[in-house]
Structure 1
Amino acid sequence: MEGMQAKIQRSKLSSGDTLSRYSAVFVFLACVGVASWKQTASAPLSPGTTDWPATSVQLPNLNQSRESPGPVTSSWRTTRRRFIRFTLNNDEYEDYEEEEATPPPTRRGPLPRCDYNPCSHMQVPCEELQRAQPCLCPGISGEDIPPEQPRIRRVTGTSDSEASVHWCEPSSVVSGYRLVFWPEGASENVTTQLIPSRQRLFTLAGLEAATTYVVCVLAFNPAGASQLTKRDLDGADPGAGPCLVFATGSTRRLILYIGVTICLLVLLSVLCVLLRCLCAKHRDPPTPSSVALGLRNPIYEHDKGTSQS
């Protein structure tokens, strides 16, 4: 009886040892599984490390885009990001991908020149063109420096009393323009009102007919106005300086020329007619044989007339 109880006691101890061993192994395996799950969740995915299909993820290389020059790109890139959701209780996971639109990397490179013409009438300022699209504006001096000299291109549309002046903007900040003109050789000049900075064309009115004028353009900004030299006032550089010499037309003089020409034509016509008449009279003079010689017989002339009647 005692031997049987000892056997039962030993069997209980062996079963308890076995159960404790199995429990220790189970706890160890659970710890290893949790550690491996944490490592897998925190480490980046790469082909060959998991049993599910690997997906390559392309991310923009920002360092390379900063260093390599090139034109500015405007296309958007779609980036796929992979997400894995685990469920510990049921030992399941869910693998899905999500598309995300990312802005294109900005590449720094040579910018194009702005579509800006300093001689174009009503030209939009280059700063506004830059805000609409990145581009390069021509270099100009600041508003704390007086502007450089504008350049008169030409004078068109001249008539008896008007003329249109075209000019180009200088490489400076300009708030407005003024035109100064006077008859050549006169001591007094006329100055126009302030012209907006976008204008490159202005029509002078009230001019005298058939008169030679000198016109100059001045640019203004908060620092002052452009300067004129003696060479500019003489118009030594037509089309390349701020001054130009032009002359107005004369319709009255043209009408006078036409009237004088018509009168001369009429006078010449009358003279030709008179000369033709004089020449016709003296063309066939009488010959001596056709002139009757001696005295006429009155009786013969009377009898000749009676017989004819």
Structure 2
Amino acid sequence: MLLVSQVMFLLLCVMESVRTTSVSPSLNQPSLTRVRIIEVGDDYDEETSKTTATPQSPGVTTSRVVRRPCYYDPCAVQTIPCEKISAQTGCLCPGLTGPEERPEPPELREVKLDGSGKVLVHWCAPRSTVTHYEVTLSGENKPLVFKENLRKGAIPELKVGETVCVAARNQVGISEKSCKRYEPPQPNPVALSAGIIAGSVGFLLLLLVLAIVLWKRRTCRKGRMGDAEGLGNPSYTTEHCDEENK
């Protein structure tokens, strides 16, 4: 009887050991961890964030969310503020210094004559908070004021050789000036060469026509003199000359 009980106890131990080792291996797998990666762009004031799941086992997908920079050209007229575009599309606006800091100077690109005869000034905005732009001419203290979204302005009665300056202003103060001297427009060398060639050809054609007219008149005079002496040219009569002169 004792032997039977010992055998039964041994069988129970073996069955318990087998049940423990047959547990699903999925319970022993490590859990997934979520890693948050923050990327900061050089020219933009908000974070470009990426949220990704880093799997410890194969077969797990990765999710990623990326915010793109807004299209912003500092040299073009801003018809729609970047903040409004960001609110609609979720893009990132470029970083600007706040209204409590003095703005950086704008970049004066060019001063040129446009098709209407006015001198046009073109500048690029600084990466600063700006309330308006001030354009001044050499020898004048009163500036021309342009709105903060503008990048071009017409300057009336600007003389060749005068200096044009543009500065940005906000509540703190005005920036340093960016200046250029207005130079006369340079002629297009291709158009100039074409004009010279066309003028030369026209002048040569005019000389050729004049030479033909003078030659015909001279021939008519010789024919008339021959008629007066009785030696007229039968192939070129004075009647033919009279018709040509008409």
Q: TM-score, normalised by structure 2?
A: 0.48
Mark the structure with the bigger radius of gyration.
1
Q: TM-score, normalised by structure 1?
A: 0.39
